[in-house]
Amino acid sequence: MIKLFYVTDIHGSNVCYRKFLNALPIYGIDVAILNGDLLGKVLVPLVEKGSGWESTLVGNHVEIGTQEELAEIKKTVENLGYYWIHQTRDEYEAMKADPKSIDKLFHHLAFQRIQEWLDLADERLTGKNHQLYICPGNDDYWEIDDMISCMKFARPCDNLVIDIDGHEMVSCSRSNPTPWDTPREESEEALEKHLDELCAQITDYEKAIFNFHVPPHGYSLDLCPKLDDNLVMAAEEKIHAGSIGAKHVIEKYQPLLGLHGHIHESRGAQKIGRTLIINPGSEYSEGILKGVIVMLDKKKVKDYVFTSG
């Protein structure tokens, strides 16, 4: 039996990433999987003002007067999954006037944090028996794939078939279309074709693991609030936002286990025929690491336990 730890959608949160690495020895994990989205979404300028700084954080204006307060704000920003930058007032105004410079700066800071994370993983895994696999998600720029492939001990798994103690695992970072036009979206038709080609490489579906960032459409793992034309969430009404292509492929091949994320609100597990599908959910913005530990026997899922902390 192997003990597998699955986490997804930490979106740049330093505290969640460190909790993920810390959990491996605590839980006695054999195999850990971190399945996108890895990158954050927000840039927070810390703008010089007299002898201090000012900023806007989570919609609130913040005045920063001391180095201690500055350090605390930086830590808060990083744990939220955001990126901070020191700027003079002139630098800030120039950046606001040039959207391309904002995009370039965001990319730089996002890649810098990913590299810090990868270096920390290699440091923590040195001399240890934990296996770590990393797959991006639809929000992640394609450039980070090369960064992941250069790690010493952790391994990339996107678009690959990986053997995990006799279980073939196939992974995919892509998603069906979303309202946010993220980097790894494609049409349902293209996504289903891609997934089917990947899964056709499996030799034993009875023991296979499908590690798809996007969950299958129409099940309990893909329910999220409905958005209006202004992308405002409905208070009550929910819709299914998973992939029809993923649904078709899972129903067709019936793997042992499906591991999914993408829809943060839909933590849960459900059966599709013989396949157990799981979404551990995400509360990265609260600094809470959600995950699931799966105990895998040769031909069955012996047990699973959701984690939160």
Percentages helix, strand, coil for the chain, rounded to the nearest 5? Answer: 30, 35, 35
Mind listing the pLDDT tens digit for each residue in 122-155?
999 999 999 999 999 999 999 999 999 999 999 9
Q: What is the structure's pLDDT at 298? A: 86
Q: How far apart are the first and last CA of the chain?
A: 25
Question: Among all chains, which residue has been given the structure tokens 């993408």?
Answer: 262
Q: Which of 160, 156, 250 is nearest to 205 (CA)?
A: 250
Per the structure block, which two tokens stand in for 87? 């700027």
Q: What is the structure's pLDDT at 55? A: 97
Contact 117, 109 (CB under 8 A): no
Give the C-alpha separation, 48 to 273, whole Å: 59
Q: pLDDT tens per residue, the chain (309 residues)?
A: 999 999 999 999 999 999 999 999 999 999 999 998 999 999 999 999 999 999 999 999 999 999 999 999 999 999 999 999 999 999 999 999 999 999 999 999 999 999 999 999 999 999 999 999 999 999 999 999 999 999 999 999 999 999 999 999 999 999 999 999 999 999 999 999 999 999 999 999 999 999 999 999 999 999 999 988 888 888 789 999 999 999 999 999 999 999 999 999 999 999 999 999 999 999 999 999 999 999 999 889 999 999 999
Question: Among all chains, which residue has been given the structure tokens 């036009």?
Answer: 181
Contact 256, 211 (CB under 8 A): no
Q: What is the structure's pLDDT at 87? A: 96
Enter the CATH code of domain 2-42+107-308. Answer: 3.60.21.10
Quick one: how many helices (H) and strands (E) in the chain? 7, 18
Mind listing the pLDDT tens digit for each residue in 233-280?
887 899 999 999 999 999 999 999 999 999 999 999 999 999 999 999
Q: What is the structure's pLDDT at 209? A: 98
pTM metric for this prediction? 0.95
The conformation of residue 67, written as its DSSP 8-state character, comes to H
Widest CA span in the chain? 66
Burial of 304 (0-12, 13-18, 19+ CB in 10 A): middle
Amino acid at site 228: D
Q: Which of 36, 26, 33 is nearest to 294 (CA)?
A: 33
| Three-class secondary structure assignment of 107-128 | HHHHHHHHHHHHHHHHHHHCCC
Return the beta strands (E) in the chain as ranges: 2-8, 31-35, 43-49, 52-57, 60-64, 83-87, 131-135, 155-156, 161-164, 167-172, 209-212, 223-227, 233-240, 257-259, 268-272, 275-279, 290-296, 301-308
**Percent of the chain predicted with pLDDT > 90:** 94
Domain ranges within the chain, ordered by starting residue: 2-42+107-308
Q: What is the structure's pLDDT at 94? A: 96
Give the torsion sign (CA, 258, 175, 250, 195). negative
Give the torsion sign (CA, 48, 52, 55, 61). negative
Q: What is the structure's pLDDT at 144? A: 97
